[in-house]
Structure 1
Amino acid sequence: MFEDRTAESDADFPSSWKQELSVAEQEIQTDECKVQDQESQSTEFASIEVQTITVEETASPDTLDMDALAEFVNKAALLIEEELDLIATSRAFDTIMSYGDEDEEENDVTLVNTIEVVDGLSISDIDWNNTGGNLVVGLSGGEHVEWCTHLPDLNIYRVDRSGTIVGGKPQQRFNLPSCISQVAAHPSDPQLLAAGTVTGEILLFKMDRGENELSIGQVESHAPVVSLLWMSRVNLLACHSNGILRLWILDTKKYTLSLTKTFKVSSKHMPKQFKSLRSGEVGVRHASFSQDEPDRAIIGTESGAVVLADIESELILTDGGDEELYDPVALVYPLHTAPINCIAVSPIDGSIFATTAQDGILNIISMVQPTMPVISYQMDTPPNYCDWSSIKPGVIGVASTGAVYIFDVLQNKSAAIHKINVSARNLHLPLTVLKFSKNDGLRLSAGDKFGRIYVWRLPPILSTSNIHENAQFQSMVFNVE
């Protein structure tokens, strides 16, 4: 019979139309998850002590660099003083600041300080430094008929913007070998100043370098120095009473003076009626110069003539003797009939200058026509000194015996607009010198024959200006009648 069964055979017949499936194992197509353990994101707190160093960590005095500290203090002190001077002389608050009581008259001149420097000595000269913060005062024993044996001091006072002398005493003193006849503060360095003596020496001082002179300019001639002029930052012209002019040059690194040229005002240039009784010698009394022409000096003589001197002259005098002397005389103007006491060139217009003399006349001169004054004032007593305001055009102060006169040549051409009486114990004190403060013109200082210093504060009417006044003053050059 038939039965179902599977025949076992090794025969194989591959299909011609079917394909076998291929199978492969694959991983999952996603990135593996990463797990990381982190600490808690909470703020940690820690207890700390007071944030100061312990005593053991503090530097001891033995570990300090004292030289470096001293160098720093010196530099810092100069910067602080310079800033204080600038603040003291600033005009930024002129329109909102007022001094004194509200009912004080607007045009009053107020005496702020009177100081007696040294009994028995007179004030020979004063000057303000370029910032107006320091007042330099030179002392003298008066007339010298023989060699000077006095030992005076050169005093430096600090004066604030109101005119008050800080501390009421000198901030600094310098010892000098003889009486001072002239002082001159440097035009740009507030710490540097020069002094001339009655024995003909030129001394140089730096206020921030102690109490000794830096350099001494000395020659064989011992005629007193009657004027010291900083013609530039490095050129110092010394005018001596015997007509000798010496040009010194300053070494700004070593602060030493070197003589570069010597001039002599010869009598051969003087008109016959103006020649001195001393043959070949012209007595010089005072000198000034214009910043516009720093190579020319204006010199006042004993005869009353004014000499225009050219310090760049190369003309050699034949009667100079052993010393090589240059002839500086360019022009001579006979303006007074008596010895000239002072010459002052306007800081606002260098072509206008003023002269005062023993004939009691104050002349305002224009260089356009110097032989004929623009204005002349006849004073009751001979004027000893004059100085222009550095701010107010036309304002000039004149020191005389017993009074200071303030003129405004733009407002009044016949008389002074202010008279300040200066007296003590019913005596009229002879004032020897007078100077307006530089840069601001707010203060006026004077010195007398008995060693007193006076400082006045000027009202706005005498210490402020406008462009119209400047133009009006400069037009005076051409308004010669």
Structure 2
Amino acid sequence: MFTDKSFDPVGFSSQTSSEKSGKSNNVQTDVVVYDDGSFQSTEKKSVETQTLTEPKKTPEFDYARLAAFLKRVTPGILEALDETYGTNAFEDYNPATTSESFSAVQCLAKLNTWENPDFKTKISGLTWSTGGGSLGLSYSVTFHENWCDHLSKIKLYYFTRDNKFPSAPNKVLEVNSCVTSLLYHPSEPSILAAGLFNGDVLVWNLRDDMSVTPVQVFAHGDYVSQLQWQTKIVGDASVLVSASADGYILIHKLLANFTTVNLHKKFKVAKEHNPSENARPRSAGGNRERAVEAGLTITSFDFSSKDPSLFIVGTLCGGIYKCSIDQAVSVEGDESILDPVISEYNRYEGSVISVKCSPTRNRFVTSGTDKEIRIYDFDQAASQKIISLENTVIGLSWCVGNKDVFAAYGATSIVGFYNITTGNALPNVILKSEIRENTSSLSFNSKRDLVAVGDTRALLEIWKIPRYYS
């Protein structure tokens, strides 16, 4: 089917062309035509105007009315100018400020304010005026063996025109007993109140330099433990609240330029639960009224910032009570004496020394002789946090820049700062002095970012503190 067969090769030559076809075309652009045009600006016209000159009229003044007005407002204006003179609100402002500079504190002045070094006297009260231009300072002996008959003083220091703190007081008020509480009015810079060891409650109007006679508001049966001005309890008058070791809390209305005093309410914390007693008297929250007994010694109190009708009371026997002005009940049918207690918090084993309600939160802090600082919620009987310390804290005070920070001072030369939310101490903000003994009093100046500190040897220190810290 298939056979092998060979054939001779066949060849052919290639055919290539080196010539290429071409075609010529002429291209010419159109001629560009240029045309010049002239332009003419619009026509302008000038118009002259002239105002009419009217004769000036001489204004008419009622000089008698002007003099009466100036006489009426000048004292208040001068007083306000003195209070605000030399403000240093922006003194620490620096765009390049670091967080470390805000934690720095500085002692500006140290004064030995008592003339007799052999007489053991402490600074018992410090208070700044509402404008921050004046500092009030009071004294008390460090220990009373019996009833107080010491002659004491209240010294007033005014900042100079060049914003310097004076080395000597500008005014001295004399009182017939040791001062236990001293407080400027929160809105009237010339009104000063003092509570004495003999039970007297006094009020001065410092506007009149010719007269330094105080108005006696009341006389308690024992030493005055605390004073507090209140502006939200009664709308038509200034209210001064005083507490005493006699067991009474009194609310007084001051009228007619602080010259007239009316008793508004009288409270007594009747015995609730005293550890030294075996029986517990009837409670104010029960159906029956309490038995007539002496009130507990009031050591401290403070009003709520959320509800001005509520306040917290601390007592000598360790009780912490939630009280109400509106829900107070009469004591054994006596309508003139009311028991304000509506509930009780966990007690201290020792005495309650200081109570401070938070200015922004529904909380309060307390200190006691058992060397504890407690943080409470208004609506809970048990404390939220307990801060144990090595020394007794006798005073608490809210700071100016951060309302969640409070200062604690007492049986030590160190003033510590704590956060109410965390309960932690602020290590970068501490007021410590090598020459200061136990701290007996402290007061913040909200206008000048200062804090005044007094000790048990009548030494006064003025510290510069940062406004904002955390």
Tell me if both proteins adopt one fold, taking TM over 0.5 as the criterion: yes
Residue 410 of structure 2 corresponds to 400
Change (3 A) 1:314 1:406: closer
Q: Which residue of 1 aligns with 2:45?
A: none
Q: Which residue matches 2:400?
A: 390
**2:273 is matched with which residue?**
270
Contact 2:305 2:357 in 1 (8 A): no
CA distance in 2, matches of 1:97, 1:234: 42
CA drift of 1:256 comes to: 2.5
Matching residue within 385, 388, 391 for 1:378:
388
2: CA distance, partners of 1:238 / 1:420:
30
Which residue among 374, 378, 385 is the counterpart of 1:367? Answer: 378
Amino acid at match of 2:132: G
1:189-268 alignment, distance < 5 Å: 189-210=188-209, 211-219=211-219, 221-232=220-231, 234-253=238-257, 255-267=259-271
Residue 191 of structure 1 contacts residue 206 of structure 1 at CA under 8 Å; is this kept in 2?
A: yes
* Structure 1 match to 2:432: 421
Q: Deviations over 1:244-266 (max 9, x none)?
A: 11111101435232223221110
The CA deviation at 1:166 is 2.6
Counterpart of 1:341 in structure 2: which amino acid?
A: I
Structure 2 partner of 1:473: none
Q: Which amino acid aligns with 1:344?
A: K
Say whether 1:340 aligns with 2:352.
Answer: yes
Instruction: State the distance in 2 between where 1:78 and 1:174 align.
Output: 22
Alignment partners' CA distance in 2, 1:314 and 1:408: 34
Residue 336 (structure 2) pairs with residue 324 (structure 1): yes
The alpha-carbon distance between structure 1 residues 399 and 314, as it changes in their structure 2 partners (threshold 3 A), is: closer
> 2:322 matched to 1:311?
no
Name the counterpart of 1:95: 93
TM-superposed CA distance for 1:201, in Å, is: 0.9
Equivalence for 2:158:
158
Partner of 1:450: 457
1:21-100 residue pairs with structure 2 within 5 A? 76=74, 78-89=76-87, 91=89, 94-96=92-94
SS state of the match for residue 176, structure 2? coil
Aligned position for 2:312 = 298
Q: Is the 8 A contact 1:362 1:378 kept in 2?
A: yes
The residue aligned with 2:136 is: 136
Looking at structure 1, the residues matched to 451 and 265 of structure 2 have their Cα atoms a distance apart, in angstroms, of 35
Distance (whole Å) between structure 2 residues aligned to residue 88 and residue 304 of structure 1: 45
Q: Is the 8 A contact 1:109 1:457 kept in 2?
A: yes
Residue 126 of structure 2 is matched in structure 1 by 126
Deviations 1:393-449 (A, max 9, x none): 32211112232333241796443423333343xxx6111122222356x11222111
Q: Contact conserved, 1:214 with 1:256, CA < 8 A, in 2?
A: no
Q: CA deviation at 1:371?
A: 2.0
Q: Residues 355 and 367 of structure 2 are in contact (CA less than 8 Å); yes or no, is this contact kept in structure 1?
A: yes
User: How far does the alpha carbon of each residue in 1:165-223 deviate from its partner, in whole angstroms, 9 at most, with x for none?
Assistant: 5322212221212211111211211111211111111111111113523410234x421
Counterpart Cα distance in 2 of 1:169 and 1:69 = 36
Going from structure 1 to structure 2, the CA distance change for 1:276 and 1:393 (only over 3 Å counts) comes to farther
Whole-Å separation in 1 of the counterparts to 2:363 and 2:132: 23
Cross-structure match for 2:50: none
Residue 342 of structure 2 aligns to a residue in which SS?
strand
Distance change (3 Å), C-alpha of 1:464 and 1:414 = closer
Q: CA deviation at 1:315?
A: 1.8
Q: Deviation of residue 276 (structure 1)?
A: 12
The amino acid that maps onto 1:304 is G
Identity %: 20
Q: How does 1:442-481 map to 2 (within 5 A)?
A: 442-459=449-466, 463-464=467-468
Q: Secondary structure at the match of 2:79?
A: helix
Post-superposition offset of 1:240: 0.5
Choose from 281, 286, 299 the match for 2:300. 286
Report if the CA contact (8 A) 2:375-2:420 is conserved: no
Aligned residue for 1:167, secondary structure, equals coil
- CA–CA distance in 2 between the matches of 1:276 and 1:94? 59
> What amino acid does structure 1 have at the position aligned with 2:223?
P
SS in 2 for 1:393: coil
1:15 match? none
Find the counterpart in structure 1 of residue 443 from structure 2: 435
Secondary structure of 1:236's aligned partner: strand
**Correspondence for 1:186:** 185
Q: 1:403 to 1:254 in 2, by over 3 A?
A: closer
What SS does the aligned partner of 1:168 have? coil
Q: Give the secondary-structure state (helix, strand or coil) at the position aligned to 2:337.
A: coil
**Secondary structure of 1:83's aligned partner:** helix
